[in-house]
Amino acid sequence: MLTFHGKQDLKDQRIAQVRAHRLADQLVKGVYWEDGKGCAVGCTIHSGRHQDYETELGIPVELAYFEDRIFESLLNGQAMMWPERFLQAIPVGVDLRATHINKRFVLALLTDKTRGLLPRIKDAKAKQIGEEIADALRKAIKGEAIDLAYLAYRADLAYLADRAYRADLADLADRADRADLADLAEILLEVLAASTAASTSVLAAR
């Protein structure tokens, strides 16, 4: 499955489509697709069927859900530009699923030097668990077998430990959560834009 089915024209057309919806004030939160208006997903495929990203655009359905979640959570000014930025960041003719895009995204969320979770964790136990998860993800990206059940269990522990630390910032929780979402969006765009090299090596290996 290649992004935009290998066609630059398809990518350009969908970017133009979501831009036209934005300029016509038809890009809205909370609605998939209704009366010519919709969210990031709706304005991209004119429906709420996330799975159609695969058949129409060659983009893994998981990324459609990522795009959707980020769009609904960003501040309005950032959200309105998000669908265009998301599509622009995806290279044409790349097999994103074969590059382990989801694992690369989670790894970047953990390890990014300026916006990742690990550099911000204060709790030593949570940091250790996070590093174990990062190592497991690196192995999985290389094609090594990992214990997904154990990884999920460790991830739960890291999440709970991190939330306990962040509870100290409860008075700033809403603003912090929104700032985090903006960071997640930027990291996703960077991972998508960097996916060409990974896809090229996967295709060459085949």
pLDDT per residue as tens digits for the range 38-76: 999 999 999 999 999 999 999 999 999 999 989 998 988
Which residue, among 158, 178, 176, has the nearest Cα to 168 in the 3D structure? 176
Look at residues 110, 51, 92, 56 and name the one whose alpha carbon lies nearest to residue 199: 92
Cα torsion angle, 106, 108, 111, 112, sign:
negative
- CA 127 to CA 129: how far, in whole Å? 5
Structure tokens at 183: 């960071």
- For the entire predicted model, the pTM comes to 0.79
Q: Note the pLDDT tens digit of each residue in 162-177.
A: 666 555 544 444 444 5
- Which ranges of 24-147 does DSSP label H, i.e. alpha helix? 40-45, 52, 61-73, 76-89, 101-111, 124-141
What per-residue confidence (pLDDT) applies to 202? 47
Return d(Cα 73, Cα 40) in angstroms, integer: 12
Which value, in Å, is the radius of gyration of the alpha carbons in the chain? 18
Instruction: Report the half-sphere exposure of 14 (CA within 13 A, side-chain side).
Output: 28
* Phi, psi dihedrals of residue 200, rounded to the nearest 5°: -60, -45
Domain ranges of the chain: 3-93, 102-171
CA distance 68 to 82: 10
Q: Which residues of the chain have pLDDT under 50?
A: 169-176, 202-206
Output the pLDDT for position 5: 97
Query: What pLDDT was estimated at residue 173?
Result: 45
Name the strand (E) or helix (H) holding 93: none
Distance CA 11, CA 174 (A): 35
Residue with tokens 């999920």: 152
Distance CA(6)–CA(14), nearest Å, equals: 14
